Chains A and B, each alone.
Chain A
């Protein structure tokens, strides 16, 4: 059946975009970075030297220990309300990762479900799903996200839902194209012949084969989610204080970018390292799992 989605149309191109040749070292580096940040986030209460919400207006803007005027008491200094920066950075990892994981989990569920339905049943189902995809791709993410947040609020769960509603397209495209390929494979035909229901077939026969490429998609979309959350927090429409995420830390430090730029650079660097690590991991996985550029 002729769908306007072809290997050359925008939607497909997004997945087929050429990979970065991340070698084995890149993959390992990415994995190490993610694991380290994950560990820091989990063990935050034990690792953080001070409570992250404890404000002390008399100790504002103390510099990090490696700059003049710094003290060992606050290794990375304090922010504009006297809160220990290192502790906030550590706790910020939690929220950044949580938003990243939570969002991707939700978007994966949506994207994979739609992809399975479209790829397996084809026909009108496929047309409908493709139409939904086209509508979604026509909506500008940032504008729509800030509008929804402004409208619905920014509790943590709501934020994850709103972000997830813009990040499921890659899951859909990959799942759909692979499902289409497997739909007519022998083992699927056999399963159908033996009377298994369609849903069972989709979930227990087809889906397991998709896990590797979907993991790659998940890692790459997680980077996207983290950057989006950071941008939303920067605009004041993201995480609510006193909770902290790295994006929010940059937003709060915005006023000091010229005179105390370390306040901006430290969380900025953290985001960069996290996202770079995720990208390395994702690209490395892609090279490792599908070295011949075909799915």
Chain B
């Protein structure tokens, strides 16, 4: 067990290092940072001076080392546009995205698991068809179209929810629904399949033969069995949500990390872009690490592989 954990952790560290190297390279590719920093109409001497000050004339591998050392201490660059440390910008926008993601996953799990389980317990029934239909729509609908439909229906025609900004929890509902819609199909399918497996298993047949009431069976055993794959899928989905919310944050004017990245691209502000990428990737690596460790603890059979 300890061996597994150590290996898993080692892997996570290596992945993060690789990603940091990739994003560092991306930053270097984005153009001559010295010129961008020097600003309009600066002379060539000033640009050269900046280069020396920041060590941009040293070999690439040395620069990476410097950058990495600074990053580990919390300094991930300065924004060209705002002039403030990127860490501050990222720190301000991560909570918004995390809140959005959390809401989305809660809505997704809360609707998809019961729906999937109900569908799996009665394959071929109308509830099954509805669940599968939703699963199909969820994968096929462009998220921006769905967002507009939500705004139109919930924001204007029935005016029950605020549209833009992130001031109150209510502001997160519509964007979370839009995001959740994209995650629901996978969760519906997993719960449904898990339910079908459970239904067919000997254990259940025995339990039923013994006379246990259906809902005891469902809630007790089926749920527990479905939980393992759902936890896994949920963690993957949360990862998608973190990165996939760019469109939603754009439409609903939520100032999360997707929005920050998009804005930074429009402003050619590459330190911010690179930092955002790094942050979300790191979050994802940590998340899957935790999910895998969680799974090992729930179902010890896995680690023996």
Contact = CB atoms under 8 A, between A and B. Distances in A.
In the complex, A touching B (Cβ < 8 A): yes
Interface of A: 2, 4, 6-10, 13-14, 17-21, 131, 134-135, 137-144, 146-148, 150-151, 223, 227, 230-231, 234-235, 237, 247, 250-251, 254, 257-258, 261, 264-265, 268, 271-272, 275-276, 279-280
B142 A271 contact: yes
Interface in B226-243: 228-229, 232-233, 235-236, 239-240, 242-243
A143 B243 contact: yes
A279 B141 CA distance: 12
Contacts of A143: 243, 246, 257-258, 261, 276-277, 280
A135 B145 contact: no
Interface string B29-51: 11000000000000000000000
B233 to A, nearest CB: 7
Contact of B142 (A138, A237, A250, A261): A250
Given A143-B258, A279-B136, A134 B142 contact: no
Contacts of A137: 288
A150 B156 CA distance: 34
Given A131-B15, A147-B26, 17 more contacts: A8-B305, A18-B190, A21-B123, A134-B15, A135-B15, A138-B19, A140-B242, A144-B277, A147-B273, A231-B246, A234-B144, A257-B152, A258-B152, A264-B148, A275-B140, A276-B137, A279-B139
A143 B30 CA distance: 16
B258 to A, nearest CB: 7
Given A142-B247, A143-B261, A235-B246, A17 B190 contact: yes
Contacts of A139: 19, 22, 243, 277, 281, 284
Interface string B265-305: 11010100110110011001100100110010001001001
Interface residues of B, number: 71
B199 interface: no
B26 A151 contact: yes
Contacts of A144: 243, 277
B189 interface: yes
A143 B151 CA distance: 24
B148 A20 contact: no
A234 B247 contact: yes
Q: Which 10 A-B pairs have the closest CB atoms?
A: A140-B243, A18-B193, A150-B265, A268-B145, A275-B140, A6-B305, A276-B140, A143-B243, A18-B189, A257-B148
B108 interface: no
Contacts of B239: 138, 140
A140 B262 CA distance: 14
Interface majority SS on A: helix, strand, loop or mixed?
A: helix
A150 B189 CA distance: 36
B127 interface: no
20 contacts: A4-B7, A8-B295, A10-B232, A10-B291, A17-B233, A21-B132, A131-B15, A134-B11, A135-B15, A138-B15, A138-B285, A140-B239, A142-B243, A142-B246, A146-B246, A146-B261, A223-B140, A257-B148, A264-B148, A279-B139
A250 B285 CA distance: 34
Contacts of B236: 10, 13-14
Nearest to B296: A8
Contacts of A271: 140, 142, 145
Interface in B116-161: 123, 132, 135-137, 139-145, 148, 151-152, 156
A223 B185 CA distance: 14
A92 to B, nearest CB: 13
Given A17-B189, A144-B243, A275 B139 contact: yes
Contacts of A247: 142
B244 interface: yes
A50 to B, nearest CB: 25
B244 A141 contact: yes
- Of A134, A146, A254, A272, chain B has the most CB atoms within 10 Å of the CB of A146
B32 to A, nearest CB: 14
Contacts of A14: 236
A269 B39 CA distance: 46
Given A9-B292, A13-B229, A21-B132, A135 B244 contact: no
B192 A18 contact: yes
A231 B295 contact: no
B76 to A, nearest CB: 15
Contacts of B280: 140, 143
A148 B30 CA distance: 10
Contacts of A235: 246-247, 250, 262
Nearest to B14: A131
A165 to B, nearest CB: 11
Given A134-B11, A140-B277, A231 B243 contact: no
A134 B123 CA distance: 35
A271 B32 CA distance: 40
Contacts of A250: 142, 144-145
